[in-house]
Structure 1
Amino acid sequence: MRVLIVEDEPFMAEAIEAVLKKNNYSVDLAFDGEYGLDCALSEIYDVVILDIMLPKIDGFRVVQTMRRNEELMARIRALIRRQPQIRNLNYLVYEDLVLYPFLLKITCNNKEIAITLKESQVLEILFSNKNQIVSKNILIERIWGYESNTEDNHVEVYISFLRKNCSI
């Protein structure tokens, strides 16, 4: 797991970094909000630990900008789904399952199955984290958002749907 720490106090940032590295996390540091925002928008981090009082851009504005960027990407994906001629045909493979996230379908055992956006998002996260445990909380945060009221059983329902459609 890759973690970004955005903290303007070097002692505090390095202390958190040391604890995380000791627990085998990959950690990068940013010492102001502007650089932290640039790093966070790169989408290479699984977790961002963010101070509120930062130089250049405060932590609240960093989060607001990150959320606006997430909304923009969601709208772009929605437009792509509506425009078949510009759909991206990329796919992900795990054993005998093939996921086509932009087409909202999977193939397994030579059978093509239409899936929902949420099912596709669940599979995309699981496929991208092969041979790793992905908690329900991580799925909820990445699919429904940090401030969502979604509960664990929502994840269980989508996993159940996927298992019924194809042996996962």
Structure 2
Amino acid sequence: MKPPKARILIVEDDPAILNGLRDVLVFNGYAADGADDGRSGLNAALGGAYDLVLLDVMLPTMDGFSICRTLRRQKPTQPIIMLTAKGAEEDVVTGFKAGADDYISKPFSLRELMVRVEAVLRRSGKPTGEERIQCQGIFFDGRNLQAVRGAHSQELTRREMDLIVYLHQNQHRIVPKKELLTEVWHYADADIETRTVDIHILKLRKKISLLDEQVRLIETVRGEGYRWSV
């Protein structure tokens, strides 16, 4: 089973909409959790490593605008899409002022939902499963999970592709191992002892070397982390 492309939290008190959104997101390859009131939604968003929060405006115990403001203060980079009533322009303006990245007006089509979800994830630097990267003569294809050079190719796992995408997007700096555990593996506790990052890096280097033994794309900076070499 492939790991999910991203983790999404849905905060929505209407059971039909909540379950429908969850089903659609899971069908499209995402992991989706739900909360049906504002307070539990805020707690889930603050306590979990979510790539995106879909946030309704009208909620029991705490409204969506208050949740958005709190999230923006405590998690400044958290991507948020507000779910607003159709034609409620004031809600849209208030949502953006509260810090939302985008909004979707109810009722919405499933196609519009996925387009907006993928757009916000792409802007935030989260993998959407469609990434394609060309570097030092090697083409990394996120759609088909392959690394290709000329007539030769190596199969990639989804996690390996997500790792490539994250390092490539942050190529201007050294990326600590703990950050990779949080942002790529979605570990809630990045202080745990694990060699999973090192093992994935070793496997990736071997696959890249089989395509071109002269290419060194992932540099280890001892005691600090990893850096993408261009």
TM-score when normalising by structure 2? 0.35
Q: More helix per residue: 1 or 2?
A: 1
Greater Rg over alpha carbons, structure: 2
TM-score when normalising by structure 1? 0.46
Q: More strand per residue: 1 or 2?
A: 2
